[in-house]
Amino acid sequence: MLGAADAFRFEEHLAECARCRLMTAEFAGVAAVLERYARPTPPGVGPVAERE
Ligand SMILES: [Zn+2]
């Protein structure tokens, strides 16, 4: 687990490291997708409902 100082350094590192920024962005994207699928399907919406 990251301490406050480590988290701060990581953010500082992210600011100047495109590679880590990309990885973080990809991870955030995956997390958002997982969260979307973890959410219960609202009533009246089929499981294969299309999204615009
Ligand atoms: Zn890096």
Q: Is residue 52 part of a domain?
A: no
Q: What is the pLDDT of residue 43?
A: 73
Q: Is residue 13 part of a domain?
A: yes
Q: How far is the CA of 17 from the centre of ligand 1 (A)?
A: 5
Q: What is the pLDDT of residue 47?
A: 65
Q: Is residue 51 part of a domain?
A: no
Query: pLDDT tens digit string along 1-52?
Result: 667 788 778 888 988 999 999 998 998 898 888 888 888 777 776 767 666 6
Q: What is the pLDDT of residue 8?
A: 78
Query: What is the number of structural domains in the chain?
Result: 1
Q: Is residue 10 part of a domain?
A: yes
Q: How far is the CA of 38 from the centre of ligand 1 (A)?
A: 30
Domain span at 24: 4-38
Two structure tokens written together for 17: 């490291």
Q: Which DSSP state fits 20? A: H
Distances (CA, A) of 40 to 34, 49, 50: 12, 13, 16
Which residue in 7, 51, 20, 11 sits closest to 33, CA to CA? 51
Q: What is the pLDDT of residue 50?
A: 67
Q: How far is the CA of 10 from the centre of ligand 1 (A)?
A: 8
Report helix, strand or coil for 32. helix
